[in-house]
Amino acid sequence: MEEDLIASLTHQVKEEVIENYLTERRIVALQIEDIYDRAEGLQASAVKTGRRLNRLAFLVITPEMRKALINLLTVPELSFWKESMDKKFARGVRFIRVKSLTDRGKFKKLLMESYHRLFDHMEHYRKAYEDLRNEVRAVNSNIAKFQHNFDLLTIINFLKGLDTHAIERKHFLGENFTAEELASVDRKLHIRSISFEELELPQPLVLRKPDTMEGTLSDFALEIYRKHQSHVKRIMQ
């Protein structure tokens, strides 16, 4: 009778330990899955933001002016954003409609509004980028806590110690496992921390606020218009 009670209690303890392990593991797995889902959405957001930069690059007409724009916005040479600028203009980005009494004034407004929309998209992307980076840190902390609290080899050894019969230990817990086999199980079930860099998300550009760029952009627009007036008029038709 006493042995049956001990066996029953032992079985309950085993179930509780294993259930706690599996529950916590599922929670961590869902957190990791959420990170990768958000990263996928953020990659799409980067593409949309890149299209706004591509539109601005299209408006400055020539490679010479694009180079000046790159310097103005401090776009890294080898970057997602530079690649976005070099692509053919995406007509999927709705062209901006502006009004002015002269073509020169209209072009100046067009360039400034294009920059404003780029800035808004970049700031939205930056916030999501920073939020995700912080979330990765939090999930990695949870992974570390899980690994510390639920060391698999310790759990296996603990469960083995609850059994009173060697045959039961062999049948249910695999006492005949070799050290190498146990280590292999531990490696396979190990949860690796998330590397934010491996998500391959482009670092957001640091852009000046539109109201501080008005004078610079106005002069830039007038220079483009003066040098390429006929081309500017064509793209505004």
Domain enclosing residue 218, as ranges: 2-236
Q: Using a cut of 0.85, tell me whether the model's pTM lies above it.
A: no
- Token look-up 């640091």 returns 206
Tell whether the model's pLDDT for residue 3 goes beyond 60.
no
Summarize pLDDT for 23-57 with one digit per residue, the tens.
Answer: 888 899 999 999 999 999 999 999 999 999 999 99
CA separation, residue 56 to residues 86, 87, 135 (Å) = 11, 12, 32
Could you give the CA distance from residue 31 to residue 197 in angstroms, rounded to a whole number? 18
Look at the chain and report how many structural domains it folds into.
1
Choose the most confident range, by mean pLDDT, from 17-26, 154-163, 184-193. Answer: 17-26
Could you give the CA distance from residue 225 to residue 132 in angstroms, rounded to a whole number? 41
Summarize pLDDT for 141-159 with one digit per residue, the tens.
Answer: 999 988 877 665 555 554 4
